[in-house]
Amino acid sequence: MGPYLLGLRLSGRRVLVVGGGHVAQRRVPALLEAGAVVTLVSPGVTPALDDLIAAGRVTWHARPYEVGDCDGAWLVQACTDDRAVNTAVAAEAEAKHIWCVRADDKDASAAWTPASGRVDEISVAVTAGGDPRRAAGIRDAVVGALRDGTVDARRSRTKPVGVALVGGGPGDPGLITVRGRQLLAQADVVVADRLAPRALLDELAPDVELIDAAKVPYGRSLAQDKINEILVDRARQGRFVVRLKGGDPFVFGRGGEEMIACARAGIPVLVVPGITSAVAVPSAAGVPVTHRGVSQEFHVVSVHVAPDDPASTVDWPAMARSQGTLVLLMAVERLAKVAEALLRDGRSPETPVMVVQDGTLPTQRTVVAPLSTVADRVSAAGIRPPAIVVVGDVVRVGQEVEMVRAERLP
């Protein structure tokens, strides 16, 4: 017969664990998380258990099991590597009408410990006929589906309210955070940027209102005031709104303006950080923005206006003098003027520059050239936005990695 599944509320209740090895090491933290008062009986323990004992979270009797140890326990875990000891522990527990889990013999065990997981208020437990590997695999699949919204999360009674500013990451839909994907699955309205991971939009339920908030360079664009108005209007209708943005909402994403607009309207706002393309795209192209002995700093600069534009607030002479890495966003159309400014103020003409278009996506393209010629090379290659520009000697680190890889190929 199959087991009768029951969720035990162990807060404040004594649980006996016999054995101090790796099985106990896995089970004790879950018992503590459930609020159990854990007593551990074992001549020795693993370092991880020793740490819990030192912190006062577990009572340890450093000796072998003795008859009477089960007294006062609500639950017993027999986790030693000695079958005879586990049999004795289980026999005492059975005689005293205490549920006992044997780690060594599922058929002789009065109870099974399920493979368990938790997503917000939802707990998942799987037994799979006492097969722990199979149970863990099924548990992982269910928990993953709950986290990314594959399992319908929109039916929850505790669905979020207001507006969530969600950073979608650098482009690859797999690089959005777990929390961001979960909220996207719960949305009633999605207001999406052009650089948001648009492949995720195909997964939205048919009744989700999708609003295109694209800002195409030198093309069609939805004004920021209008975006703010939409966020407030839909949230006031009682609908949960996700503002899906590329990268991180607060890195040149105007998330601060949207948060202020919602706050002024009394709309609750949840901010979910995203992986900014300023770091992710160079990484995807094999270039670290910092590297020991090469660069201990990096600067992220928006080049939505040229260095000689009166609206520019960037200290370009300081950028030229810096020995750190420069990561330039929205710079492709003004790359010639950027190079001119950096060269004029002291950067070496031989400074390596990497330009990456469509970073993290299957269409990713890369151009590497010296600062003195990079603008011409990029133009000749037909590189278009969105693209990230990396200026500095860290570009050579990426090239070195590629050379090492090439040398190791058969």
Question: Could you give the 3-state DSSP secondary structure of residue 390?
Answer: strand
As a whole number of angstroms, the distance between CA 159 and CA 153 comes to 8
Spatial neighbors of 28 by CB under 8 A, at least 6 apart, are: 17, 38, 40, 49, 52, 58
d(C-alpha 246, C-alpha 149), whole Å: 19
DSSP state of 113: P
Separation between Cα atoms, residue 171 and residue 264, nearest integer Å: 31
Q: Give CA–CA dist 55/215, Å, rounded.
A: 53
Q: Is 215 known to be catalytic?
A: yes
| Total residue length of the chain | 410
Torsion on CA atoms 166, 168, 174, 178, rounded to nearest 10 = -20
Q: Name every residue whose Cβ is closer than 8 Å to that of residue 336 and which is 6 or more positions away in sequence.
A: 375
Per the listing, tokens 């901010």 go with 271
Strand (E) or helix (H) holding 144: helix 132-148
Considering 148, 172, 193, 248, which one is annotated as catalytic? 193
Check if 233 is active-site: no
Quote the CA–CA distance of 288 and 135 in Å, as a whole number: 40
**Which of 82, 96, 106, 215 is flagged as catalytic?**
215
Going by DSSP bridges, is the β-strand pair 365-370/352-357 parallel, antiparallel, or unpaired?
Answer: antiparallel
Q: Any idea what the Cα angle at residue 268 is, between residues 163 and 241, rounded to 5°? A: 15
Which tokens hold the place of 238?
A: 């009682």
End-to-end CA distance of the chain: 57
Burial of 32 (0-12, 13-18, 19+ CB in 10 A): middle
- Six-digit token string for 13: 């209740």
DSSP element (H, E) containing 60: strand 58-61
The pair phi, psi for residue 18, each rounded to 5°, is -105, 120
State the catalytic residues. Answer: 193, 215
